[in-house]
Chains A and B, each alone.
Chain A
Amino acid sequence: MSNDFLQMHLKAVMSCLVIFLYKVHTTKAGQFFSSGHTNNWAVLVCTSRFWFNYRHVANTLSVYRSVKRLGIPDSHIVLMLADDMACNYRNPRPATVFSHKNMELNVYGDDVEVDYRGYEVTVENFLRVLTGRLPPSTPRSKRLLSDDRSNILIYLTGHGGNGFLKFQDSEEISNMELADAFEQMWQKRRYNELLFIIDTCQGASMYERFYSPNLMALASSQVGEDSLSHQPDLAIGVHLMDKYTFYLLEFLEEVHPASQANMNDLFKVCPQSQCVSTPGHRTDLFQRDPGSVLITDFFGSVRKVEITKDTINLTSPVEPPIQRSGSGDIQIESLTYVDQLPVAEIIHQKPKQKDWHPPDGFILGLWTLILLVFFQTYGIKHLKHIF
């Protein structure tokens, strides 16, 4: 009986221990892996062209700067700027883009890599980047190589209206197209969670039509409201930033990689008293509670580190010296440089033999017509004169 008692006691102790360990696991390790993503990507787009839209480029570059500061590397950021403001001839301080008046903060920096610029920023290219349907020769820096464990931040800024966003003053993207692109991304499992921020007039209309899961959206103004710009700089002559992104930058400057700030703080950025427009947000498609989502889940690239005690053997990176092919192949002919302007040779150059192409359809048709007309007028008996 004492044995049974002992066994029962042991079992009780064991179960308590198991429950205790499980609790510990969920509190520390559980928290550790709660967000479910392993890498971060950012797609930052400025859709406006022309010097007076300086503020949209400054908006995008401020978010770029914050995202880079919090750890996302350039290889994981797709930056699209529709026009060049930094080296624009109208810029009194070349290679700079300022976000505060009196030129306090240069958001362009010394280490910027723009992936799509100028005329390349089109609706088609933007949707292709999102859905991954790019031509095979596109370089890696221009692709969004995300997988099903990626958290993606998408930031759009420019001029917009109720249900559309204008690209470069010549085309527009509608909210339905955007929602469908996100659905394509979901079906191809190109994201784990997606945060969509838009800073345009009537920005909330752009996220009205989303229907894919795990999307959270923020906009700088509601339908029917305009987003306003912040402050002009008299030396540069244009407005430097939009109000919403200005306060967003101010908020993000306080965030550091280990910060515990969550999405509820982000929703409070720029209330109506500061922004004049009412920022909106949408979280119904998002599965987690916004209060438990860290800012660094989207803006930073906090890597999870797994410590192991096993040793791994690396192969030697140095290759044995490359043996030149055997002595029989030594060419003793001395090599020479080419004459840069061989006048005599050029004058006597024969015309290139062009490749022969069979006659084009037009020429064939023309000849057929001529022959037909000829034989119609003169009759078929003249054929024997030809053959």
Chain B
Amino acid sequence: KFSQISRSYDIVCLLGRSYRCKCRPPARDQFQEELVIRPLHSGDIYASFQFRTLWDTDFLQERQKKVSHYRLFPKSLGQVLSKFSVRELHISFTQGFWRTMQWGQPFIPSPPGAELWVWFHHTVSDVDGNWKELTNVLSGIFCASLNFIDMTNTVQPSASFKPLGLGNATDHRFLRYATLPREIVCTENLTPWKKLLPCGSKAGLAVLMKSEKLFHSSFHSQAVHIRPICQDEQCTSKAWELRQTLNVVFDHYTSGQGKKEWSLFKMFSRTLTEACPLASSSKVYVDITDNPELFELSPATHLLSRAVVLGDRRTYSVYDLTRAETFGQLRSFNLLLRWKGDNMLRPLLHAERYVAGFGLQTGEIHTVIYNNHPYRAFPVLLMDSVPWYLQLYVHTLTVTSKSRDNKPSYIHYQPAKDRHRPHLLEMLIQLPPHSMTEVTVQFERALLKWTEYTPDPNHGFYVGSSVVSALVPSMVAMSTNFTQDQPLFSSFVPVKEESSYFVRVYTEPLLVNLPTPDFSMPYNVICLTCTVVAVGYGSFYNLLTRTFQVDEPSPPLAKRLANFIRRIRGVPLLA
């Protein structure tokens, strides 16, 4: 339908050129969609959707008129970018935790809950004010409680979270980072996310996104990433890129009676019938690196693509949805894969975190980072943001690798201010090869004011995930060239050098119990006190002030009559 309209516009333009009609300007935006399916060695299936809209425009330039004609780029996000002078925006909503040891590295990492980090333009004068308004506007767009992001959980990292887009200046005063580990992700977040896509959920790969199947999974993460990127290989001009990604890990192995056999229909309860007409490319990639004998893939395809992603060269079968042959005679595309073998994927870097200690007064946070490379050491940047009510004692901070002290080469610590800002701890640690590094710090739990407790305080309070950013040495040389035809999943992080790739690992969030008062206590105290006062004091008061009077009962009727007659006669009355 859309392609027909655009074709008719072209015809009208051709005809109308002689009549000087106002044709629409040549389209400077394009849309690409792709789906990558990767079987994981634990038997789960990892499906990663990426939708990218590229637009050659400038939201921030003052000399031009304000952008008002939106075609593929969603208007709500465009207005947000220009109003708040945003240079880069990354927001993700995740349900579940990514298990690096069993699943390897994700294409786009994200922590549990909601995470938002934004780089503002250097012309912004009041970054905090813009940040507060931006979180409110985004909470309305995504139906999430992002308005709970305020100064008490926002940090300004000094070395982590460098911009992923173009730019030279990296003054960290314009960066803000916040997470809400308690944030729930459900259909109400998926609905507005789907509405941002040019084809909505009516055509293309987005028809597969049925919430009943997507949320019945081990891991579900949807994200929006907006940044400026190079338009072409010479990189002389910028274009805005909007990436919407949805990563989901299905657990069909345990729920499917142990058979490693799945299809698109089984995963999503839908098959694909057409590509999005507005998309310039629409592809499905299936990871078939491990030994073709291990797989049985149908429908078969000859299109293969090799890409180096996350330091590993992998081979993918490609299905191009813009070609009608992919859909076959039934006009429906359903992928079937029967998997026979096992493969072990050892991730080179992974991290975990837990709380040690007992009682409700003190505790210890342990962050453990594993370097599984056999002979190379590499540096990692660990960023920890702890809420103010866990009072960290930084003098107890220890970093040990292989039971020896490991001194970080860079430490940035910003202490918390009660009810104002959280702790921020950033450290650059060199991880020795094939080792486990442990970072421990002791803390004390604070007693909150009684109005600051949530309605369910016995659930506990969440501490956001730690972020480990690292340049991991790669087994395979990565290409630093940037081409337009690169699959989306391998072009998210810009590659600067060939021998290592950048990766971000998130640890688990912590759930910590704070000393919780008994909220029914005031009611009980009032009842008890009033009872004691009434019974005790009341009796005492009566004893002191009560006087007794003798009161004669009224005489019976006969006596009363007799007295009455006697009074008349003038004779003395009876007793």
Complex contacts, B172 vs chain A, CB 8 Å: 352
Q: A139-B140, A337-B494 are in contact. Are A111 and B25 (CB under 8 A)?
A: no
Closest Cβ–Cβ distance, residue B270 to chain A (whole Å):
12
CB atoms of B25 and A114 under 8 A apart: no
CB atoms of A50 and B456 under 8 A apart: yes
Closest Cβ–Cβ distance, residue B88 to chain A (whole Å):
10
CB atoms of B215 and A317 under 8 A apart: no
Report the bound CA distance from A320 to B159 in whole Å: 44
**Across the two chains, which residue of chain B brings its CB closest to A351?**
B412
Q: A112-B187, A318-B69 are in contact. List 4 more A-B contacts (CB 8 A).
A: A318-B23, A319-B25, A319-B68, A332-B236
CB atoms of B381 and A341 under 8 A apart: yes
Complex contacts, A331 vs chain B, CB 8 Å: 236
The answer, yes or no, to whether B40 is at the interface (CB within 8 Å) is no
Report the bound CA distance from A247 to B46 in whole Å: 43
The answer, yes or no, to whether B302 is at the interface (CB within 8 Å) is no
Partner of A119 from the list B63, B64, B381, B454 (CB cut-off 8 Å) is: B454
Of the stretches B141-149, B348-356, B358-366, B387-395, the one at the interface is B141-149
The answer, yes or no, to whether A168 is at the interface (CB within 8 Å) is yes
Which of B137, B141, B168, B212 gathers most chain A CB within 10 Å?
B212
In residues 118-142 of chain A, which contact B (Cβ within 8 Å)? 118-120, 135, 137-142
**Across the two chains, which residue of chain B brings its CB closest to A330?**
B236
The answer, yes or no, to whether A93 is at the interface (CB within 8 Å) is yes
Complex contacts, A342 vs chain B, CB 8 Å: 162
Report the bound CA distance from A320 to B64 in whole Å: 12
Partner of B186 from the list A95, A341, A343 (CB cut-off 8 Å) is: A95
CB atoms of A334 and B234 under 8 A apart: yes
CB atoms of A94 and B162 under 8 A apart: no
Closest Cβ–Cβ distance, residue A161 to chain B (whole Å):
14
CB atoms of A346 and B166 under 8 A apart: no
**Across the two chains, which residue of chain B brings its CB closest to A332?**
B236
Complex contacts, B166 vs chain A, CB 8 Å: 335-337
The answer, yes or no, to whether B286 is at the interface (CB within 8 Å) is no
In residues 341-378 of chain A, which contact B (Cβ within 8 Å)? 341-343, 346-347, 349, 352
- The 26 sampled A-B contact pairs (Cβ below 8 Å) are A87-B184, A94-B215, A109-B187, A111-B187, A111-B191, A112-B187, A113-B192, A119-B455, A137-B133, A137-B137, A138-B136, A139-B136, A139-B140, A319-B25, A334-B234, A335-B167, A335-B235, A336-B168, A337-B496, A340-B469, A341-B469, A342-B162, A343-B428, A346-B381, A347-B410, A349-B159
Complex contacts, B409 vs chain A, CB 8 Å: 343, 347
Q: Nearest 7 CB-CB pairs, A to B?
A: A139-B140, A337-B494, A87-B186, A321-B25, A168-B455, A95-B215, A137-B136
In residues 121-152 of chain B, which contact A (Cβ within 8 Å)? 132-133, 136-137, 139-141, 143-145, 147-148
The answer, yes or no, to whether A316 is at the interface (CB within 8 Å) is yes
The answer, yes or no, to whether A314 is at the interface (CB within 8 Å) is no
CB atoms of B143 and A95 under 8 A apart: no
Partner of B162 from the list A109, A138, A322, A339 (CB cut-off 8 Å) is: A339
**Across the two chains, which residue of chain A brings its CB closest to B171?**
A352
The answer, yes or no, to whether B332 is at the interface (CB within 8 Å) is no
Encode contact with A along B442-484: 1 for CB under 8 Å, 0 otherwise: 0000000000001110000000000001110000000000000
Complex contacts, A346 vs chain B, CB 8 Å: 159, 381, 410, 428
Report the bound CA distance from A142 to B147 in whole Å: 11
CB atoms of A110 and B454 under 8 A apart: no
CB atoms of B158 and A113 under 8 A apart: no
Report the bound CA distance from A216 to B365 in whole Å: 57
Report the bound CA distance from A109 to B188 in whole Å: 10
Report the bound CA distance from A145 to B310 in whole Å: 49
Q: A86-B187, A338-B162 are in contact. Are A110 and B211 (CB under 8 A)?
A: yes
Q: A117-B145, A137-B132, A316-B22 are in contact. Are A338 and B191 (CB under 8 A)?
A: no
CB atoms of B494 and A96 under 8 A apart: no
The answer, yes or no, to whether B95 is at the interface (CB within 8 Å) is yes
CB atoms of B428 and A322 under 8 A apart: no
Encode contact with A along B12-26: 1 for CB under 8 Å, 0 otherwise: 000000000011111
The answer, yes or no, to whether A155 is at the interface (CB within 8 Å) is no
The answer, yes or no, to whether A84 is at the interface (CB within 8 Å) is yes
In residues 44-73 of chain B, which contact A (Cβ within 8 Å)? 57, 63-65, 68-69
The answer, yes or no, to whether B165 is at the interface (CB within 8 Å) is yes
Report the bound CA distance from A14 to B206 in whole Å: 65
CB atoms of B502 and A94 under 8 A apart: no
CB atoms of A118 and B184 under 8 A apart: yes
CB atoms of A349 and B234 under 8 A apart: no
CB atoms of B63 and A49 under 8 A apart: no
In residues 478-511 of chain B, which contact A (Cβ within 8 Å)? 493-494, 496, 502
CB atoms of B22 and A87 under 8 A apart: no
Complex contacts, A327 vs chain B, CB 8 Å: none
Report the bound CA distance from A301 to B332 in whole Å: 38
Closest Cβ–Cβ distance, residue A1 to chain B (whole Å):
70
**Across the two chains, which residue of chain A brings its CB closest to B210?**
A110
Q: A95-B211, A117-B145, A120-B145 are in contact. Are A317 and B140 (CB under 8 A)?
A: no
CB atoms of A112 and B188 under 8 A apart: yes
The answer, yes or no, to whether A250 is at the interface (CB within 8 Å) is no
The answer, yes or no, to whether B519 is at the interface (CB within 8 Å) is yes
Report the bound CA distance from A93 to B186 in whole Å: 12
The answer, yes or no, to whether B289 is at the interface (CB within 8 Å) is no
Report the bound CA distance from A332 to B237 in whole Å: 9
Report the bound CA distance from A341 to B148 in whole Å: 30
Complex contacts, B167 vs chain A, CB 8 Å: 335, 338
Complex contacts, A322 vs chain B, CB 8 Å: 25, 57, 64-65
The answer, yes or no, to whether B185 is at the interface (CB within 8 Å) is yes
CB atoms of B143 and A115 under 8 A apart: yes
Encode contact with B along A35-66: 1 for CB under 8 Å, 0 otherwise: 00000000000000110000000000000000
CB atoms of B143 and A340 under 8 A apart: no
Q: A336-B166, A339-B496, A341-B379 are in contact. Are A139 and B238 (CB under 8 A)?
A: no
Closest Cβ–Cβ distance, residue B322 to chain A (whole Å):
27
Closest Cβ–Cβ distance, residue A319 to chain B (whole Å):
6
Complex contacts, A137 vs chain B, CB 8 Å: 132-133, 136-137
Complex contacts, B141 vs chain A, CB 8 Å: 139
Complex contacts, B502 vs chain A, CB 8 Å: 340-341
